[in-house]
Amino acid sequence: DAWVHEQDMRRAVNRPGHLEGPVAEHAMGRMAMAMPYVIGRKVQPDDGTEVVFDVTGAAGRVLAVAMDGTRAKYLESPPDSPAVRLSMDVETFACLTCGRCSPDEAMGSGKVAIDGDRALGERILGQMNIMI
């Protein structure tokens, strides 16, 4: 929570930073934990649908989530051909997950790339805002 508010202040004064290190990695981990919920409960794609979040930067990571029946779960490794791959940096992932920007703002700025099922990708971006 404190890291997210720090990032809010940094964006307000145009002084980006602290996007790496143990605090950023911990915050990223907390946000990442919600992605199965976002996919499984909020977006609800078909059984077997695989989604990859490719989050770049020092605190970034690759998150692979798949639908198993009506629930989503993490995959141990990303599939070669997911239904959709969403690529963005740590700051954009945090902004979308914490409701600091809209999907339209993120995509309009060129900070998000959608590879694969564009409609599904847009649905996911629209549901990423969660409370951590």
Q: How far apart are CA 116 and CA 132, in angstroms?
A: 28
pTM, two decimals, is 0.92
Predicted confidence at residue 11, as pLDDT, reads 87
Architecture category of domain 2-127 in CATH: 2-Layer Sandwich (3.30)
Predicted confidence at residue 116, as pLDDT, reads 99
Return per-residue pLDDT of the chain as tens, 132 residues: 788 888 889 989 999 888 898 999 999 999 999 999 999 999 999 999 999 999 999 999 999 999 999 999 999 999 999 999 999 999 999 999 999 999 999 999 999 999 999 999 999 999 999 965
Domain assignments of the chain as residue spans, ordered by start: 2-127
Q: Answer yes or no: are the C-beta atoms of 51 and 74 closer than 8 Å.
A: no
Predicted confidence at residue 132, as pLDDT, reads 59
Predicted confidence at residue 47, as pLDDT, reads 98
